[in-house]
Structure 1
């Protein structure tokens, strides 16, 4: 059964195709499904304008010949540029079935350029000759489309395998999403992405894309504690904790309590703030058995008092989200003996700090780094940034779609932390909570429009949640 949200490595995609062939679907049929599915998108975008398809020697090139023939059959003007003669039996057969013109690269110009040079098949640096061919053809067309993956990108890591690549208006994934469809710098090379079904089932061990959650309104007999009590641990800089609290309040929690070391003069009237400067008073409030989730880190500070409060928070053994300063001053001993769920939300710098803390080398691609940290820390890890990966200790991975670049403003991480704590309090499931929070965060950014502040982002969380009901 088609799994539209699965995300596969190249090896996993090969395995999925092999299982299809073992069940009786030959390579030619798979190529027809992939190419004709991609041609549907290209046909719509071309709207009758001339199309040039660059075909490589492998099966991605074979897909290109199928695309060109599908467009030709419909009466669309199309031509093929062959970088080399087809080198696989499937590509040779596809080329033999194409009835249109094959031209030299220097002659090719038009409106739509389709890159079927390598797709997901490339794992080494793209030669200067082929890179220049790509750039030249793209420059002589108004719009470029990549099939499966732009040539010159590592499909597993998202790394660029050339010093410069064209920019594509569309990337059409074949059979399943690949990891690079959700990773930088690959994602920055296209505007939109679409998926073509070739009949591949869900592959065991495959990752997933973060999708819109289906949320429900509170039960008729709900009360504030049953809906989830979030305790946000304040610190030296109360603004960040206030921001996280505001986001948590809009994300479905029934009760948000800010536990602060000092009185907060500018707290909203509808936010419960509790001054708990001492260890005993803090333990009484934050250790309340009705607390469904703790959030510690935003604005906590990095001094000895902050470290003490972080350690005390984790020792309460409540489901806990650790963010910001909490990730920087964390020590492994603070996690000893914990049985409750832990969620960490590091950005790139914090991720590197945590890798040093847990003795990880950090040299792999982001998915592997997130997965290694999750296992080492026994925590759900939201490795956030322009690309966001969620990892669980059991090896599960989830990839967020491209988010608004307007999120690159101070405080948006505090909003995500508040969202995560709220969804953890509501669901009791840290994996589900992380996925829901990441989706709501990205959607709130879309609703907020351009040039928003973190506080304005938090204000749009409610509308993002409403869209999921």
Structure 2
């Protein structure tokens, strides 16, 4: 089943202010507000028509333009023969919403005590909400959606903060959210993302071309050609240390992610594929054919580990720093990152991030951007809603990752995938995003109760999907 969607390519993510600016640009071209609202409401109706097979429907309309979209959707659905009822918080408070209320020729009920319906559409409050819903209204929304078989939110579930994904008041879990014009951060960030359910983007003519934030998309990673060989596919060095199993996970993942030649350094490392080459650290770092280095997984935090990290940073190769490497960087090492010829990729989880950068203000996207600017590195802030940020302010957010990834060693696998893509010659910002997609897809293929060791075996299928 298809739904109204935006144009092909990476889907832009707009904040509330960016959405308003994009709308103002449309109005500046002479398009009336009511015409844009008409288009938005019609898109909601079309999405509901395709998604829900249109049982009797109750549309909840708020006082602003989100409510105006609801009145438009009600009219379009009624014209298609759907039994539609409208319940509102009161009279519209914007001129455009009032105009759309006037075009709806059916009755308007009060929300308090309204009967539910098999399909409930929430058009109470959308982009730009900054305060909690009135507790009585939140309770009515919860009651009506709980009694429905399906629920759809217009732009955003009411009670969700647009830019940081905060849940301002109790929010039902919706089956579908119709994002108007573009994705918003709350569609992808935690904790709001799960409340949105499936998200469909309705193209209403907003220009997201100037966006600095995108959704991570499936990358295009062509298979090797007849002229390729193991070195052209990328030689990656993984620097082992105190916990050899973590480095072995990263190295194995790199092999399965398409690296042509993977070298693993360190003592007492046993097992792993026979194709994995063991070599001394100094030799691996001095090899001019080395395309990238992964340092940190299982490295340790003693003086030997610190020496290994310093050697990796001084070798002049593309660099991924993870796990123990990040802990060592937290002790005054961030300033050295800006001396690198090309941005390193840092892969902290929240705890590592705070040790590196402190309690930065703002949303997860804001914090990752600030950290990238401060360090001069590509910062991949991990989590269910991983964010990749570039020092120049560009950033990308993933779809919610499988929760089973919250287990030991999965970050080591991610570091190995990034390293393989860097060794292949892919731009670090693009490599971090592509690795996130491959990592998540491998996890979905691995299924419930996965462990990190399972992921490399599913990477070839994930990689094949990107050819």
Q: Which of the residues 180, 185, 195 maps onto 2:186?
A: 180
Equivalence for 1:221: 227
Unmatched runs of 5 consecutive residues or more in structure 1: 277-281
Aligned 8 A contact 2:13 2:211 in 1 = no
Aligned to 2:76: 70
- 1:419-434 to structure 2, matched below 5 A, reads 419-434=417-432
Structure 2 residue aligned with 1:302: 301
Structure 2 partner of 1:353: 355
Q: 1:53 to 1:336 in 2, by over 3 A?
A: closer
User: Is the Cα contact below 8 Å between 2:337 and 2:376 reproduced in 1?
Assistant: no
The separation in 2 between residues aligned to 1:182 and 1:74, in whole angstroms, is 33
Task: Deviation per CA, 1:28-78: give whole Å up to 9, x if none.
Answer: 111111111111121233323111111001000000111111111110111
Q: 1:368 aligns with which of 366, 369, 391?
A: 366
Q: CA deviation at 1:148?
A: 0.4
Deviation at 1:91, TM superposition (A): 0.4
Runs of 4+ in 1 over 4 A off after TM superposition: 1-4
SS at match of 2:385: coil
Contact residue 62 and residue 95 of structure 1 kept, 8 A? yes
Residue 133 of structure 1: CA displacement?
2.2
Q: Distance in 2 between matches of 1:155 and 1:44?
A: 26
Question: What corresponds to 1:208 in structure 2?
Answer: 214
The aligned residue for residue 158 of structure 1 is: 165
Specify the alignment match of 2:3 in structure 1: none
In structure 2, the residue matched to 1:270 is 275
Aligned twin of 1:34? 40
Is 74-83 or 425-434 further displaced after alignment? 425-434
More deviation in 365-374 or 199-208? 199-208
- In 2, the alpha carbon distance for the partners of 1:232 and 1:238 equals 11
| 1:318–1:341 Cα contact (<8 Å) kept | no
Contact 1:12 1:206 in 2 (8 A): no
> What is the CA–CA distance in structure 2 between the aligned matches of 1:442 and 1:376, rounded to whole Å?
28
For residues 123 and 214 of structure 1, the distance between their equivalents in structure 2, rounded to whole angstroms, comes to 38
* Map of 1:457 onto structure 2: 455
Equivalent position of 1:189 in the other structure: 195
Distance in 2 between residues matched to 1:371 and 1:406, nearest whole Å: 27
Q: Take 1:2 and 1:384, find their aligned partners in 2: how far apart are those partners?
A: 28
In structure 1, C-alpha distance between the alignment counterparts of 2:208 and 2:128, rounded to whole Å: 21
Correspondence for 2:151 = 144
How many Å separate the matches in 1 of 2:165 and 2:54?
A: 33
> What is the CA-CA distance between 1:457 and the residue it aligns to?
1.4
Alignment partners' CA distance in 2, 1:342 and 1:259: 20
Which whole-Å CA distance do the structure 2 matches of 1:109 and 1:129 have between them? Answer: 16
Please point out which of 128, 133, 151 is paired with 2:140.
133
DSSP 3-state at the match of 2:412: helix
Matched residues in 1 for 2:340 and 2:374: separation? 14
Equivalence for 2:115: 108
Measure the CA separation in 2 of the matches of 1:343 and 1:233.
15
Whole-Å separation in 2 of the counterparts to 1:413 and 1:145: 35
Q: Does 1:89 align with 2:95?
A: yes
Alpha-carbon RMSD: 1.5
Shift of 1:348: 0.7
Q: Is the 8 A contact 1:380 1:391 kept in 2?
A: yes
Which residue in the other structure is 1:279 paired with?
none
Contact 2:123 2:153 in 1 (8 A): yes
Cα 1:269–1:257 shift into 2, 3 Å: same
Contact 2:145–2:172 (CA<8 Å) still a contact in 1? Answer: yes
Question: Shift of residue 101 of structure 1?
Answer: 3.0
Cα distance 1:139–1:205, how it changes in 2: closer, same or farther (>3 A)? closer
Please state whether the residue corresponding to 2:262 is helix, strand or coil. Answer: strand
Counterpart CA distance in 2 for 1:302 and 1:437 is 26
**DSSP-derived class of the 1:410 partner:** coil
Q: Which structure 2 residues correspond to residues 236-315 of structure 1 after superposition, within 5 A?
A: 236-260=242-266, 262-274=267-279, 276=280, 282-315=281-314
- Report if the CA contact (8 A) 2:27-2:33 is conserved: yes
CA shift at 1:399, angstroms? 1.0
Q: How does 1:314-329 map to 2 (within 5 A)?
A: 314-329=313-328
Kindly indicate whether the alpha-carbon contact (under 8 Å) linking 1:293 and 1:424 is maintained by their aligned counterparts in 2: yes
Q: Which residue of 1 aligns with 2:26?
A: 20
Q: Counterpart of 2:127 in 1: which secondary structure? A: helix
Match of 2:153, SS state, is strand
* Deviation for aligned residue 1:3: 6.7
User: Which string of whole-angstrom CA distances, capped at 9 and with x for unpartnered residues, describes residues 13-37 of structure 1?
Assistant: 1111111111232211111111111
Contact 1:2 1:202 in 2 (8 A): no
The CA distance in 2 between the partners of 1:119 and 1:209, in whole Å, is 20
Give the paired residue count.
457
CA distance in 1, matches of 2:334, 2:241: 21
Cα distance in structure 2, aligned partners of 1:49 and 1:396: 43
Offset from partner CA, 1:434-459 (integer Å, 9 cap, x none): 11111111111121122211111121
Distance 1:334 1:391 in 2: 19
Unaligned runs of 5+ in 2: 1-5
Q: What per-residue deviation string (whole Å, max 9, x for no partner) do you get for residues 406-452 of structure 1? A: 21121111111111111111134101111111111111112112221
Contact 1:370–1:389 under 8 Å retained in 2: yes
The CA distance in 2 between the partners of 1:18 and 1:203, in whole Å, is 15
